[in-house]
Amino acid sequence: MDKKGLLIVISGFSGVGKGTVVKRLVQDYGYSLSVSATTRAPREGEIDGRDYYFKSKADFMNLIDYNGFIEWAIYVENYYGTPRAFVERELAAGHNVILEIEVQGALNIKNQYPDAVLIFLTAPSASELKERLVGRGTEDPAVVDKRMKRAAEESADMDQYEYIVVNDDLDQCVKDVNSVIVAKGCMIEKNMEFMNQMKAELQAL
Neighbours of 140 (CB within 10 A): 8
Neighbours of 102 (CB within 10 A): 18
We find the least distance from the C-beta atom of residue 192 to its own copies, in angstroms, to be: 8
Evaluate whether 5 touches 184 at the Cβ level (below 8 Å): no
- Give the residue from 86, 22, 98 showing the smallest Cα distance to 53: 86
Q: How far is the CB of 159 from its own copies (least distance, A)?
A: 6
How far is residue 87's CA from residue 106's CA, in Å, rounded to a whole number?
14
Looking at the Cβ atoms of 27 and 125, the one nearer to its own copies is 125
Pick from 35, 39, 7: nearest CA to 23: 35
Please give the residue ranges that form the binding site for its own copies (CB under 8 A). Answer: 1, 119, 122, 125-127, 129-130, 148, 151-152, 155-156, 158-159, 161-166, 175-176, 178-180, 182-184, 186-188, 191-192, 194-195, 198-199, 201-205
CA angle at residue 18 from 12 to 22, to 5 degrees? Answer: 130
CB of 27 to its own copies, least distance (A): 18
Closest by CA to 181, choosing from 128, 137, 131, 117, is 117
Q: Where are the beta strands (DSSP E) in 97-140?
A: 97-100, 117-122
Tell me how far the alpha carbon of residue 20 is from its chain's centroid. Answer: 12
CB-wise, 64 or 192, nearer to its own copies?
A: 192
Query: Is 70 or 151 the residue whose CB approaches its own copies more closely?
Result: 151
Which C-beta is closer to its own copies: that of 57 or that of 199? 199
Minimum distance between the CB of residue 191 and its own copies, rounded to whole angstroms?
5
**What is the rounded CA–CA span in Å between residue 123 and residue 140?**
21
Residue 168 Cβ, how far from its own copies at the closest point, in Å?
A: 11
CB closer to its own copies out of 70 and 144: 144
Q: How far is the CB of 107 from its own copies (least distance, A)?
A: 14
Closer residue to its own copies in complex, CB, 64/183: 183
